[in-house]
Structure 1
Amino acid sequence: MPAPETIVQQQLDAYNAKDLDAWLTTYAPDAAQFELHGGLLASGHAEMRARMAARFAEPDLHAQLLSRIVMGQIVTDYELITRNFPEGKGTIEMLCIYEIAGDAIARATFALGEKRLLDA
């Protein structure tokens, strides 16, 4: 069974490759994604696929890993995400908390920082 940080790294690599199928294989079929202290973003592969398809279509999408903490089955990544926002290209800080069960992500919780638009 792969180590929790290996599963999360595979998820990050697939995200940056914009490989939706590979990205989904890192999540359990019944996995759920949440906002920190907030609502459900997506539950299960079908909802996660629909949620991420538009994101993966962004030409500049990229997640830069700034730091990672591993504590047992919990992996916390601090990332700087480059996105194509409606207002233009920019970055946003993201805290990603992944809970691993078996060989997949069972739950992911995200906290978003401040959006910063890049100068044209």
Structure 2
Amino acid sequence: MTSDTHCSASIEFPVQQQLHAYNARDVDSFMQWWANDCEYYEFPARLLARGAAEIRRRHIARFKEPNLFGRLIHRTVVGNIVVDEERVTRTFPEGPGEVDVLAIYEITDGKITKAWFKMGSPRLFN
């Protein structure tokens, strides 16, 4: 393993761990990968939550969805940025379905410090 590969693996580690916790709907495990002063955005710059407490509150509600699951399609790591393409199964107000999500994470000292999410259009299961 080259030092670049090792660095890339360590940068993506918190992102992978929070995805596992997301799929387990385990808010405590999920939050351990987020910095206390993290910021959570709708891409490109609409702040949705600032700080771990606000992100926790958002996800306590989200984790109540019975079919919630994020499937990783592709991951790219450049420097301290991890970009995930995901397909997320959710329960929308109109019913169950899925949505494509582009998630961009900034990692500092093993924690997610900023994240941006670009959502596609939900597709309902019929």
TM-score with structure 2 setting the length: 0.91
- State the match for 1:48 in structure 2: 55
Alignment root-mean-square deviation, CA: 1.2
Q: Which runs of 4+ in 1 moved over 4 A?
A: none
CA distance in 1, matches of 2:75, 2:57: 27
Q: Is 1:21 matched with 2:32?
A: no
SS in 2 for 1:33: strand
Q: Which amino acid aligns with 1:27?
A: W
- Displacement of 1:4 after TM fit? 1.1
CA deviation vs aligned residue, 1:9-41 (integer Å, no higher than 9, x gap): 001000000010110000001001001123111
More strand by share: 1
Q: Is 1:39 matched with 2:39?
A: no
CA distance in 1, matches of 2:62, 2:119: 15
TM-score with structure 1 setting the length: 0.95
CA deviation vs aligned residue, 1:55-107 (integer Å, no higher than 9, x gap): 00000000000000011110000000000011110000000000001110000
Aligned partner of 1:104 among 92, 103, 111: 111
Gaps of 5+ in 2: 1-6
Q: Is 1:79 matched with 2:92?
A: no
User: In percent, how many aligned pairs have the same letter?
Assistant: 46
Which structure: larger Rg? 2
SS in 1 for 2:37: strand
